[in-house]
Chains A and B, each alone.
Chain A
Amino acid sequence: MALSSWKELPIGTIITEPGNAREFKTGDWRSQRPIWDSEKCIHCLFCFIYCPDSSIKVNEEGKMTGIDLDYCKGCGICAEECPKEAIHMEIEKR
């Protein structure tokens, strides 16, 4: 989401649309990005248990399907805890 210039924003920090917190993607804070290797993954879901931001995506069959980068803060706990080194961290490029 492109950020508005000072000329476009409502004055005085007023938020004119209610319920827009869902538009706030807190993954913006991330300085490192987790890279998941599906070949190495054994779907033990250690990453899912440890993730402090519920950003590990798991399907109905209990299989890991990827990482929700809208909310992942790049803390790296998943990469640290993965027993198969199926997740590694790379510097986030913007």
Chain B
Amino acid sequence: MPIRALTGNEAMAEAMRQINPDVVAAYPITPATEIVQLFASFVADGCVDTEFVTVESEHSAIAACIGASGAGARVMTSTSSQGLALMHELLYVAAGLRAPIVICEVNRTLSSPINIHCDHSDTMGSREAGWIQIFAEDAQEAYDLTLQAIKISEEVLLPIMISTDAFIISHCMQRVDMLEDSEVQKFIGPYKAAYSLFDKTITIGPLDLQDYYFEHKRQEIEAMWKTAPVIEKVAQEFASKFGRSYGLFEAYKTEDAEQVIVACGSTCGTTRVVIDNLREKGIKIGLLKLYAMRPFPHQKLKEVLSKAKLITVLDRSVSMSTMGGPVYIELRSALYDAPKHPLLVDYIYGLGGRDIDMDQITDIALKGEQIIKDNKVEKPVQYVGLRE
């Protein structure tokens, strides 16, 4: 298998090349990253058979993707930040029409103030749109998960976004163990749409009023319920063929952990080193890396996390509910009916691309040890690296 030095963007673009989708519609201008620009080169060089549609905005990009999906095509696109926000209206349309579109998303903050650096505001902002959302930790994961996304999405007929952290992953070069083109094609298999505008006369997207809308939404919820086991099944197939493990989340040294740090994306790499250092000092601490934000794996997380005394959540975005970040809110809700509640504390960090380092995570972990000793959380939501 070829080993390459790739940025996160290149890794995702290479995955798109090997998938060879029927249609890619995109607006390859800032704040989009270079993913579609790289893919455009593959189109120009004849490396793919894709119909590449350049449009005038992200709103049009996802609209063209929805139309192509309705025609039975395997469809992908890529976006970031304001681009995803501009797609927002049509994200719901894609999910409601059960169009298995794959977005390679790069997590960048939303304006205002104007900033294009990493946080999870854009992706978390669309978490109720009916899309499957998976966070990758590094370029290898971005590559592997993009391949898995095709299979997951096409099985459950829900659109999916795979996201990487802007600049930290998207622009940094890392070792990526790629598959052969033929292995990718064999893994994803051909796509046969359940319905296609070309096969027989059908209507897509009709008016759906009081008498049917609710039933169609219920179908969408059911599809999301069925997605978690499909994510696990596709991950197992990927692991058995190519040796790298994925799933809904990764539990690292959580078995006997009194404190578990929960995070998603690139910060998990930094946190893992901190965990190893603290373990050497005899501190019983673990990491739970969340791959899937949607569907939120609440049942399994309850099993894994309710044994701990403290759950320390690292949230790279905020909810304006004043109750902390999205991961913390979901997790708190998931643990509510656990037989035994661990304490929970949330740390909002890295907004607008502000770095988080090992010292800060170590400090958070040690504060957590004190919380366990006191058996009390004084301030449930705190901010890391913020000038008070």
Q: Is B203 an interface residue (CB 8 A)?
A: yes
On whether the beta carbons of A13 and B202 are closer than 8 Å, the reply is: no
Please name the residue on chain B nearest to A12 by beta carbon: B98
User: Chain A contact residues: over half helix, strand or loop, or mixed?
Assistant: loop
Please name the residue on chain A nearest to B95 by beta carbon: A12
Give chain B interface residues in 268-306, CB to chain A under 8 Å. none
Q: A12-B97, A14-B204 are in contact. Are A3 and B216 (CB under 8 A)?
A: no
List 24 A-B pairs, Cβ < 8 Å: A3-B211, A6-B218, A6-B222, A9-B212, A9-B215, A11-B223, A12-B96, A12-B97, A12-B98, A12-B99, A12-B204, A12-B219, A13-B96, A13-B97, A13-B206, A13-B212, A13-B216, A14-B202, A14-B203, A14-B204, A15-B202, A15-B203, A16-B200, A18-B203
Q: Is B195 an interface residue (CB 8 A)?
A: yes
A30 to B214, CA, bound (A): 21
Q: Is B46 an interface residue (CB 8 A)?
A: no
Q: Is A59 an interface residue (CB 8 A)?
A: no
On whether the beta carbons of A11 and B215 are closer than 8 Å, the reply is: no
On whether the beta carbons of A13 and B211 are closer than 8 Å, the reply is: no
**Total contacting residues, chain B, CB less than 8 A:** 24
Q: Which residues of A contact B200 (CB under 8 A)?
A: 16
Q: Which residues of B contact A12 (CB under 8 A)?
A: 96-99, 157, 195, 204, 216, 219
Most buried by A among B157, B216, B223: B216
Give chain A interface residues in 28-66, CB to chain B under 8 Å. 28
Partner of B206 from A4, A5, A6, A15 at Cβ < 8 Å = A15
Partner of A5 from B98, B202, B205, B215 at Cβ < 8 Å = B215
Q: A15-B202, A15-B203, A16-B202 are in contact. Are A9 and B211 (CB under 8 A)?
A: no
Give chain A interface residues in 1-26, CB to chain B under 8 Å. 3-6, 9-16, 18
Q: Is B320 an interface residue (CB 8 A)?
A: no
Q: Is B112 an interface residue (CB 8 A)?
A: no
A9 to B214, CA, bound (A): 12
On whether the beta carbons of B215 and A18 are closer than 8 Å, the reply is: no
Give chain B interface residues in 66-100, CB to chain A under 8 Å. 96-99
Please name the residue on chain A nearest to B205 by beta carbon: A13
Q: A12-B96, A12-B98 are in contact. Are A6 and B215 (CB under 8 A)?
A: yes
Q: Which residues of A contact B201 (CB under 8 A)?
A: 18
A4 to B212, CA, bound (A): 8
A4 to B215, CA, bound (A): 9
Q: Is B208 an interface residue (CB 8 A)?
A: yes
Q: Is B194 an interface residue (CB 8 A)?
A: yes
Partner of B98 from A11, A15, A18 at Cβ < 8 Å = A11
A14 to B201, CA, bound (A): 11
Q: In the assembled complex, how far is the CB of residue A94 from the closest CB belonging to chain B, in whole angstroms?
A: 13
Given contacts A12-B195, A14-B195, 20 further A-B contacts (CB under 8 A): A5-B215, A6-B214, A6-B216, A6-B218, A9-B212, A9-B216, A11-B98, A11-B194, A11-B219, A11-B223, A12-B96, A12-B99, A12-B157, A12-B204, A13-B97, A13-B204, A13-B216, A15-B203, A16-B195, A18-B201
Q: Which residues of B contact A14 (CB under 8 A)?
A: 195, 202-204
Q: A3-B212, A14-B195, A16-B195 are in contact. Are A9 and B219 (CB under 8 A)?
A: yes
A11 to B208, CA, bound (A): 13
A18 to B200, CA, bound (A): 9
